[in-house]
A and B are shown apart, each in its own frame.
Chain A
């Protein structure tokens, strides 16, 4: 399992863009970078997944440099409801036997 390193916590004001960076120096060729969000008393929820360059969906953008040793989750114009724990995972392609390592994630607090 490729380990990931991300900040323990971040604070942001409402309306700002938030960038959470994740380091994954040992990422393998067939690994994808996947981000989940978890609210208190709920299960993790998939946000976005990418392999290289940039991926964007209705929730977030994911930026992955050419060496793939890090990635950045970008949340545009956050609101109070974005307060949650965000997990960066490196997940191997073509396996259903997932042993996802969530770690402790990044606790994002959005301030009014």
Chain B
């Protein structure tokens, strides 16, 4: 997808192990997001970032941490994975700038990372 790459695309891990998912963008967009998608729940926001070292929590942030040390990379870490974190994780980016443009924020999503925690 246009300038946004997620890695790994698939991962199987065991309960209690740390996991890091990476989102890389080449669009120089300020906003980056991590969502998870589960059957019956749609997409739910985990964390988002509005600049280097600027992050905030979303709806389902417990058990997750993020880091953004440079514009192009947004990392999602599960410090100790649990089976409830088995999901498909999507990264998204946006060039939103408050006051600059009309309309609501539009996101561009990556292809997703499927994580299975056994």
Contact = CB atoms under 8 A, between A and B. Distances in A.
A46 B104 contact: no
A8 B58 CA distance: 26
Given A44-B43, A100-B43, A95 B59 contact: no
Interface in B62-118: 90, 92, 94, 96, 98-99, 102-112
Most chain A CB within 10 A, of B42, B58, B105, B110, is at B105
B99 A98 contact: no
28 contacts: A32-B104, A34-B106, A42-B1, A42-B111, A42-B112, A43-B1, A43-B111, A46-B107, A46-B108, A49-B103, A93-B102, A93-B103, A94-B104, A95-B98, A95-B104, A95-B105, A96-B31, A96-B105, A97-B48, A98-B45, A98-B48, A98-B107, A99-B45, A100-B43, A100-B45, A101-B42, A102-B42, A103-B42
Interface of B: 1, 30-31, 33, 35, 37, 40, 42-43, 45, 48, 50, 56, 58-59, 90, 92, 94, 96, 98-99, 102-112
Interface of A: 31-32, 34, 41-46, 49, 51, 87, 91-105
